[in-house]
Every structure is written in structure tokens, then in C-alpha cells.
Structure 1
Amino acid sequence: MSGKLYIQKIQERIEQIEKNAWPQIQTAAEMVADVIEKDGLIHAFGSGHTHILVEEIWCRAGGLAPINPLLDPNQMPYTGPFKGSALERLEGYGKILFETHDADPGDVMIVLSNSGRNPTPIEIALAAKERGLKVIGITSMDYSRQVPSRHSSGKKLYEIVDLVIDNMGPLGDALVEIENSSIKVGPSTTVLNALILNAIVCEAADILLKRGVEPPIFVSANLDIPMEHNQRLFKQFKPRVRFFDRYPD
């Protein structure tokens, strides 16, 4: 029954997000819509497994085209979990990573970190703010408040960003304690972060339409329909979005 318990606990956390984090999600959507209306970009970063969420909103059917992913191959779990964890904790690395991307003042930066304690996401948030970007942090407040910062500033992600969205994840991420055991299983925040991000995208698209602006949304490449719409979006954002430069002319 642990599988069913996991589903129940995820549903409880989703209800908490809807009840307690909806105003912040709406604010984030307004920020995203404002930037898109001005032809800006939304940049996104998550280290470790959290990079999955950056891919969730980047170049995705039903997703926004002007998403620039800060995907660092050196921190991907498939290159070795120990190296990725070490780099996430290496002070100075986040600033270097941010500076390899073009980001303009007025753009939005989304930083995801469940604990909010490690130097790389903290430094990316700091560097983005220094450049004049608005920074949204998605983190677990329960987790973050119970652990010390690993950055020399002593600050955690939620203390730096312009807008905090609590993903309602628990300390340690796992939700389900197996009966007669201290083992906890079932990480929560991939599901919860994906829900938050897609809610922001949906709300931002709605806001843009109400302003009379067509939201730049990709359609699925696996539908039997002409792909001129997607091709136009790729060409429009090709000069500015990482990896779109590989799209053929």
C-alpha cells in the first residue's frame, strides 16, 4: 500500500500548493508574461536531479518558446553523482556558469533548489540579480529552514530571490516511511516542481491572451499537422536561446 500512500501524500502537497502558494504562482506568471510581452527571455536553472524541471519547461509541447535553459553537462547525474554534488557546492562555479549565458536586464531567472543551501544555485541567483534580472526561487521552505547554508554569505536561496514559491516538499524530499522501518521512499519535488512550473506557464499564456498578445507556445511535433508554427518560433528565438542555434535554417 506504500504506492497508494505516495499518491495520497502527493495529492495532499498539491492541495497545499493550491491553497498556500497560488498567489506567488500568479505573481510569477505576471512576471513571465511581462517579459515575454517585451520580447525578453525566461532563464531557468536547477542542479542535480532538479535539472529535469528545466527540461520540463524547455522546448516542450504546450510550453513557452523563449525559455533559455542553463543546463550544465558537468552537473548532470549521468556524468557521476559525486562530481555533480561537488560542483554544486563549489563556490564560484555558479557565477561562472551564469556568465556563459546571454541574459539581459529585465529578463526573468527561475532557480530551483529544494534545500536552497548550496553555492551554485545561490550564486546564479545573486549573479542574475546583479545583472538586473528578476529572480524567482522555487524551493522547499520546510527543508531550507532546517539546514544551514553552505555559501559563505550565510544566505539561502529564499533569502536572495525577488519571489519565493514554496514547493511544499518535506525535509529530505522523500514522503513515505515504510512500515516497521525508518526508511523513507518516494521523492516528492519532481512532481511538485513540475506542477508549479506548468501552472506558471498556463497562467502566463492566459494573461498574454487577455492582453491581446499571442503566447509563443510550441505544439507537439508528433501530431500530423504542418510544423510551420514551431519552425517560426525556433527561427525567432534561435539567436538567443541556447541549443536553438543548432536548428537548421
Structure 2
Amino acid sequence: MNDDGPAWASYLDRAETTLADLAASEGDAIARAGALIATAIADGHLVHAFGTGHSGLLAAEMFYRAGGLAAVNPIFHDDLMLHRSASKSTDAERDPDRGAHVFEASGMCSGDVLVVASNSGGNAVVVDVARRAASAGVSVVAIVSRKHTAAEGATRATEQLTTYADVVIDNHVPVGDAAVTIGDDIRMGPLSTITGAAIVHAIAIAAAECGAGAGAPPDVFTSSNVAGGDEVNARLIERFRGRVKAL
């Protein structure tokens, strides 16, 4: 505990103020990302979601979610996630040679949208996947911490994810993704998952609102634990199963 109260309370306060900052300053970027997604879905394209390590949680958050867009293809690769070997996943995300495989296996094509999250914005795999996507005519929405991308001494690839993004959304997370200090030097309280989840749902909602306003509301999953939910979701699974591998 410090003079301002327990550190856990400070963390929750910091999360609240960070979300408020995000809402106040990222509205235009969220709206533009939503418009890109609405157009892609209306034209029969997919939204691909990608991140490595904990940023990969945002791809999972967008996918097969009650209240989430149905036309979402999450890009999951075991060696870039945490459940096989967390330490090796760090090495893997810095290997630019993996980008080609990730991109080719995703099935991305011109007219699609890629939502890619990377707090640092500098891991080699995400940069290479974004570069390949942009070259293929895929619109790229990047979620990064601008504070981290600009920080001196931050570990990064030669290029930045933001170089290839049509829209950049700042998650407003501090350098190192830790919001509170315990004692003199223990840094804790990551925020990127909290703000990242808020961002991906905000852009999905913006896309749905844009599509509905144009007379083309997108397909949206519902909870399987409400009346009629299984039936709605079964129809959407059947519609997208051939194009979204994880279904």
C-alpha cells in the first residue's frame, strides 16, 4: 500500500483513466477502422485478426464472440502463442522468416482487412505480415502503444508495424505495459489487454453501425446461452465454416 491507497485500486483507477483517454482521442481512428471493416464485410470479404504472445488474445477476443462480428478469421499459430512454450514464442515473434508462412496460411486476399495488435509495434513477424498484407491489397488496422514505439531503447525490428497501417489506433499503454509500482522497483499491472479488447470491440461496433446505416448490417454471433442462440450461431457457423478455419 502507498499513500494513495492500495496498488490494486491504483491499477483499476489507471485502467479507467486510460480507457477515458482512449475514448477522447481515438474516436476518429476507430470510426475509420470501422468503415474499412464495414465495406469489406459488405463486399463479402473477411476481417483477419492477428497478434503474437499476449497480443494474440485480441485475435481470440474478436472471434466467435457473443456480440462479435461473424466474418472474423483469427490467425492462430502455436509457436507464436503461449501454450506450447512461452519463452520460445518470444524468439519466434522476432523471426522475420515466419511472416511469409503466417501470411500464406491466413488466406488473406485483396479487399480483406487485417487487424493486428502489437504493443511494441516492432516484432518482426507482425511487421512482415502487415507488409505482405498491404502489398496484397489488404487494409491494415494496427493497434500499438505509441509511447512504446517512440521510446528510446525499446526492442524493435528494423521497421515498425505502423509503416504499413492504413489506420493506427493508440492503446495508450505506458512503455513496458505496466501501470503501477510496488515498493521501489516492482512494475505490475499490464493494460494492453484491457484497452486492446475495448478497441477491437469498439471498431466492431463502429463497423456494424456503419453497415446498418448503409442498409447492410453484418452478421453477429449471439450468446449460446440465450433462447435461440444456438440456432443463430449454427447458421453463421455453416455460412463461414469453409472460409474461417478455426470454426
Q: State if a TM-score over 0.5 links the two structures.
A: yes
The AA in structure 1 aligned to 2:237 is F
Identity fraction in percent: 33
The AA in structure 2 aligned to 1:193 is G
Give the match's secondary structure for 1:44. strand
Alignment check: 8 A CA contact 2:173 2:191 kept: yes
Could you tell me how far 1:104 is from its partner in structure 2? 1.5
Counterparts of 1:121-200 in structure 2, within 5 Å, are: 121-146=126-151, 147=153, 150-151=156-157, 154-178=158-182, 180-200=183-203
Distance 2:236 2:229 in 1: 14
Distance 1:126 1:138 in 2: 15
The AA in structure 2 aligned to 1:240 is R
Structure 2 equivalent of residue 47 of structure 1: 52
Could you tell me how far 1:141 is from its partner in structure 2? 0.4
Deviations 1:79-129 (A, max 9, x none): 111110010011211121111121120110111000011101001101101
The AA in structure 2 aligned to 1:177 is T
Asked whether 1:8 is paired with 2:20, we answer: no
Structure 2 equivalent of residue 247 of structure 1: none
Asked whether 1:74 is paired with 2:79, we answer: yes
The AA in structure 2 aligned to 1:75 is L
Could you tell me how far 1:140 is from its partner in structure 2? 0.2
2:96 to 91, 95, 101: 91
Structure 2 equivalent of residue 20 of structure 1: 25
1:62 to 56, 64, 67: 67
Structure 1 equivalent of residue 3 of structure 2: none
Deviations 1:188-242 (A, max 9, x none): 1000000011011111111111111232000111113252221111111111112
Could you tell me how far 1:149 is from its partner in structure 2? 6.1
Structure 2 equivalent of residue 237 of structure 1: 240
- Give the number of equivalent residue pairs: 241
1:105 to 93, 101, 110: 110
Alignment check: 8 A CA contact 1:111 1:136 kept: yes
The AA in structure 2 aligned to 1:233 is L
Give the match's secondary structure for 1:26. helix
Could you tell me how far 1:148 is from its partner in structure 2? 5.2
The AA in structure 1 aligned to 2:32 is T
Give the match's secondary structure for 2:106. coil
Alignment check: 8 A CA contact 1:149 1:156 kept: no
Structure 2 equivalent of residue 119 of structure 1: 124
Give the match's secondary structure for 2:189. strand
Alignment check: 8 A CA contact 1:44 1:68 kept: yes
Q: Which runs of 5+ in 2 are unaligned?
A: 1-5
Deviations 1:39-81 (A, max 9, x none): 1100010100111111101011100011001111112212111
Q: Which runs of 5+ in 1 are unaligned?
A: 245-249
Alignment check: 8 A CA contact 2:223 2:229 kept: no
Give the match's secondary structure for 1:173. coil
